[in-house]
Amino acid sequence: MTETPVPVAVIGVGNMGANHARVYDELPESELVEFVEPNATRARELEAEYGISVHETVDDISRATAATVAVPNNHHREIAERCLTAGLDILVEKPLATTIADAESIVETAEANDAILQVGHIERFNPVVQSLKEILEDEEVIALEAHRLGPFNQHLSEMSVVFDLMIHDIDIIDWLVDGDIEHLNALGTTPRSEQVDHAVLQLKYGNDVLGIITASHVTHGKIRTLQVTTRDAYIEVDYQDQSIVLQRRGIEETTTLLNQSGYRTETATESPYIQTREPLKNELEHFLECVSTHETPRVSGADGVRAVALTNDVADRILSTESSEMCQTTGDKTHETS
């Protein structure tokens, strides 16, 4: 815990930025001192709610020494680099950027200014993920399968589900497996918008661990789960409930009953205790601690770059598959016509 509250700003106070503002305002380790929000209506709401300065641009920040950058993804590089060169330590909401070049540039700018750069991959700070990481240290992992599904909202129509939802599980699985990817296959479809609304990703790592991720903007319910198959157990994780159910094989034996042989198995089910807490509070506490101690964050700029690279690879594979299918369809129609 930091001894002196860190003066912080929130830049971009939409849905996610508003959550950061709420948590900063609650944490004793921080003092929320400024906002940057160009929308005049939203600015007036913030002034009424928090009673602190609301600026139109980051150039007007004068009191904060650290900030959350929660602006639209395509503005991450511009805003992040302006903050870093102005001497601010920053937490950039995921994705770090939309392109690898932009993400790498942000990291280079942070290094050049000796600044703290943390990337907002919030599920890394979910208590259930931390517990799972410890459990898997003693397990031989065979496969991981994630589902991150939710209903369609109009504001999602301009964002691919790959960058909005799938990136969370790409980061988590890649972090848990900690190996090189040998094979990647991705498919997507656009049933509700011009962007990819539903996508499926298959991964194979060099250590033969498999990863499967399904992400969707078009399901009726909100689902956030991860299933892990190991040599000795099957583990079900629910991110929302912050719960883990672990099934292990128990007794296996051949038995004799009424002069007939049979095979009997027993399964032992465990539900490890999880000390539940809002992941965002864990994430921002960690960021404030890193700012105070100048230590490298748990989710570093390098981690953010890797997530951006993998997510772009997935998006490119989906696009190339769609293009190939379109060419094939066009070719078939041309053949039929001739």
Whose CA is closest to 126, among 275, 317, 287?
275
Average pLDDT in the 67-84 region? 97
Q: What is the pLDDT of residues 205-222, one digit of tens each?
A: 999 999 999 999 999 899
Whose CA is closest to 68, among 124, 15, 126?
15
244 and 237 Cβ atoms separated by less than 8 Å: yes
Which pLDDT belongs to residue 271?
A: 95
Confidence of residue 330 (pLDDT cuts 50, 70, 90): very low
Q: Write down the CATH superfamily of domain 124-278+312-320.
A: Dihydrodipicolinate Reductase; domain 2 (3.30.360.10)
> What is the rounded CA–CA span in Å between residue 227 and residue 245?
10
Tell me if 6-121+280-301 shares its fold with 124-278+312-320: no
* Average model confidence (pLDDT) across the chain: 92
174 and 144 Cβ atoms separated by less than 8 Å: no
Average pLDDT in the 11-16 region? 96
Angle (CA) 312 71 295, round 5°: 80
SS3 327: helix
Q: Pairing relation of β-strands 181-189 and 89-93?
A: unpaired
Average pLDDT in the 236-259 region? 81
150 and 282 Cβ atoms separated by less than 8 Å: no
List the chain domain ranges.
6-121+280-301, 124-278+312-320
Q: Write down the CATH superfamily of domain 6-121+280-301.
A: NAD(P)-binding Rossmann-like Domain (3.40.50.720)
Which pLDDT belongs to residue 192?
A: 87
- 29 contacts: CB under 8 Å, gap ≥ 6: 1, 2, 5, 6, 285, 288, 289, 292
Helix (H) or strand (E) holding 328: helix 301-337
Angle (CA) 218 221 226, round 5°: 95
